[in-house]
Structures are given as structure tokens and as C-alpha cells.
Amino acid sequence: MATYEVKSEITGTVCKVTVNIGDHVAEDDPLVFVESMKMEIPVVAPRGGRVTEIRVAEGDSIGEGDVTAILEV
């Protein structure tokens, strides 16, 4: 199976991680929520797969393009 990096499209602070390692997700499922400019923006799965890594934690500051999770697809 191939792996896929799920990247943040915005800069902000991780306010919620909604998945755990080993979870199976569908395309467009939210994995992480990032707070930016007082809004919570979801980082969604670009395709279905299994979460093999979570690279952020609640409270982390992240930038645009930072990898938030790895999916096995």
C-alpha cells in the first residue's frame, strides 16, 4: 500500500485532533481542526485510508504545508 501526507492549507494552532492511529477514514473526513483568525478550519482526508501517523497535537502551532497526518491508502 502507498502512503499519503495530509498537509495543512493554513497557518494556525491545532485546536482538535479527531482521529487516532489505526482509524479508517473516508475521503473528506476531518482529521484535525486548525484555529486561524478565530475560525476552526478542518484538515480533511484527501482520500480514504488508514491513519498510520499523527504528526501534530492539540496546541501545536503549524504552518501552511505542514504535514498533520500520514494515511495508508
pLDDT tens-digit map of 15-61: 999 999 999 999 999 999 999 999 999 999 999 999 999 999 999 99
* Grid cell locating 43: 484538515
Q: What is the pTM of this model?
A: 0.93
Alpha-carbon span 49 to 28, nearest angstrom: 11
20, 5, 15, 6: which is closest to 51 by C-alpha?
20
Predicted confidence at residue 34, as pLDDT, reads 98
**Structural domain for 44, as ranges:** 3-72
Q: 1 pLDDT exceeds 90?
A: no
Write the CATH number for 7.
2.40.50.100
- As for how many domains the chain has, the answer is 1
